[in-house]
Amino acid sequence: MKTNRAYPRAVITEKGARALESGHPWVYEGEIRRFALPSGQAWDNNGSLKPGAWEEADANGGGNTSGTAETEGDSGTTRPKRDDFRERRRRKELLNAPRTEDEIIPLDALPDGSIVDVVNLKGTYLGTGLLSRHSRIRVRLVTRNANDDFSPAFWERKIRWAWEYRKTVMGDDDITACRVIFSEADEFPGLIVDRFNDVLVTQTLSAGMERLKPVIFPALLRVFAEDGVSLRGIYERNDVATRALEGLEQTTGWWSDSGASDFGPSLTDITENGVRYHVDFANGQKTGFFLDQKYNRRAVARLARGRRVLDCCTHTGSFALNAALGGAQFVRAVDVSETAIDMARENARLNGPDVSDRMDFTVANIFDLLPELERTHNPERFDFIILDPPAFTKSRSTIGSAARGYREINYRAMRILPRGGYLATCSCSHFMDHEHFKRMLAEAARDAGVRLRQIEERQQAPDHPIVWGIPETDYLKCLLFQVV
């Protein structure tokens, strides 16, 4: 690590250091022992400012650290041995967690988005990240290279790497609609960038990325322009509740610093797997369209030929349209949202009568529809069911209830399908991991009295890369089965 670095340091606990060394890029609030400026000023995790305070404490020790027991008075009672200074300080920090942001570091010293070096208790460099004063995730790493300088050229170089990766793994046919930047997986923590033909749609979910928009967004436009890609502009979909955890307001609209005045309508057309779609990037879910299932939809299309398909939670009709284009005899697309069904119906018309004439659309809750189909013995003779529900859990504490929801719809689907029928089942929740999801499917099959012949186990498309050591990037499960 270079000496005399200009950046403040976050000194973190052994537990935090082990997490970073395993590949994870986050430092949590409780893992920070102190912040220190190059001037020598330091804040402990209770907010007190004193030059060299920690160094003095470490040098002076913490009282009795010999580990021997002590005898109390004349009673002969033996007291437990005292913890050393660091253990007592750790316990004190847990008991005296700061209640306001100002108790941690003065705003004028380290504002949101500040570049911070992260070091372990011995001062060994672990990486450099961006400070989020309001979040439990206090520092998000953007590099582990002490030689990086964080100039505009640094960020533009990372954008080029991300774009070159997409061109390599997706190919020319699939980069007109793909994820360009996938947050931590591309070392842009909290930033999502999706390309839909002539528009980039972004979500900025961390204070660090919010502060860097004037650097990153122009660099994005330059990289695409130099590659011969003509873009209307960048549309921001920052209508996300989690921005409040970073002290950020919710906003939407065109990024106006690009210099243009008329960006056109908030609609564009894309083609994926040969299927055409209208994308309403101002009003659709997330950034307007779910790109991560691209190749899973193609796998479904291969199985759909000649079959009667029920696509549950169709959203804008993507799985249903792939099945129809793949030669399905009939496809019913179902969603609880009437707006989504209207968009799916419009997308079917966009693909011509050969597709739309073999499709039907229903507004219904699958928790009502599937039991009714089971009760009536599948009158429409569906022999291929697709389950792609929204995330049933967004936290570890609700995995149990989510598993019950997933089990219910999969159990019903297995009961409806005839022997030899096909099932495509998905989960987009990171917390419902592969092991939990497979265990749930096994239990549903046992209770439904069927066996599952696995065809494929799939994950998200490679424009949403899974980085080992960052489990949050490994979130999408898609399994294809024959029910036997």
User: Which domain range does residue 404 map to?
Assistant: 292-483
Contact between 371 and 349 under an 8 Å Cβ cutoff? The reply is no
* Cα 182 from Cα 467, distance rounded (Å): 11
* 135 and 264 fall within a common domain: no
Last residue of some domain: 96, 122, 143?
143
- Is there a domain that residue 181 lies in? yes
Q: Which of 178, 312, 426, 428 is catalytic?
A: 428
What's the length of the chain? 484
Q: What is the SS3 assignment for the chain?
A: CCCCCCCCEEEECHHHHHHHHCCCCEEEHHHEEEEECCCCCEEECCCCECCCHHHHHHHHCCCCCCCCCEEECCCCEEECCCCCHHHHHHHHHHHCCCCCHHHCCCCCCCCCCCEEEEECCCCCEEEEEEECCCCCEEEEEEECCCCCCCCHHHHHHHHHHHHHHHHHHHCHHHCCEEEEEEHHHHCCCCEEEEEECCEEEEEECCHHHHHHHHHHHHHHHHHHHHCCCCCCEEEEEECCHHHHHHCCCCEEEECHHHCCCCCCCCEEEEEECCEEEEEECCCCCCCCCCCCCHHHHHHHHHHHCCCEEEEECCCCCHHHHHHHHCCCCEEEEEECCHHHHHHHHHHHHHCCHHHHCCEEEEECCHHHHHHHHHHCCCCCCCCEEEECCCCCCCCHHHHHHHHHHHHHHHHHHHHHCCCCCEEEEEECCCCCCHHHHHHHHHHHHHHHCCCEEEEEEECCCCCCCCCCCCHHHCCCEEEEEEEC
Separation of alpha carbons 251 and 259, rounded Å: 19
pLDDT digits (tens, 9 = 90+) for 154-191: 999 999 999 999 999 999 989 999 999 999 999 999 99
Q: Phi and psi (nearest 5°) for 368?
A: -100, -40
CATH of the domain at 326: 3.40.50.150
Mean pLDDT by 10 residues, the chain (484 residues): 78 95 94 88 66 49 40 46 56 48 68 95 96 94 96 98 98 95 98 98 97 97 96 96 94 80 86 96 92 98 98 96 98 96 96 97 97 97 96 74 92 98 95 91 97 98 97 96 97
Same domain flag for 312 and 440:
yes
Question: Which of these three, 143, 166, 186, is where a domain ends?
Answer: 143
Residue 217 and residue 361 in one domain: no
Tell me: do 182 and 109 sit in the same domain: no
Is 428 a catalytic site residue?
A: yes
Residue 117 counted as domain residue: yes
- Asked if the structure places residue 279 within a domain, the reply is no
Closest residue by Cα to residue 274 from 326, 344, 230? 326
CA gap 38, 125 in Å, rounded: 15
CATH code of residue 209 = 3.30.750.80
pLDDT at 166: 98
The pLDDT of residue 238 = 97
The answer to whether residue 171 sits within a structural domain is yes
Among residues 89, 124, 143, which one ends one of the domains?
143
Q: Same domain, yes or no, for 118 and 14? A: yes
> What does pTM read for this prediction?
0.87
Domain-located, residue 344: yes
Residue 452 and residue 399 share a domain? yes
Asked if 310 and 258 sit in the same domain, the reply is: no
CATH of the domain at 50: 2.30.130.10
Task: Please give the tally of structural domains in the chain.
Answer: 3
Q: Do both 479 and 391 map to the same domain?
A: yes
358 plus 472 within the same structural domain = yes
Q: Are residues 251 and 205 in the same domain?
A: yes
Q: What is the pLDDT of residue 97?
A: 46
In this structure, are 214 and 245 located in the same domain? yes
**Does 3 fall in a domain?**
no
Tokens 């000496």 sit on residue:
3
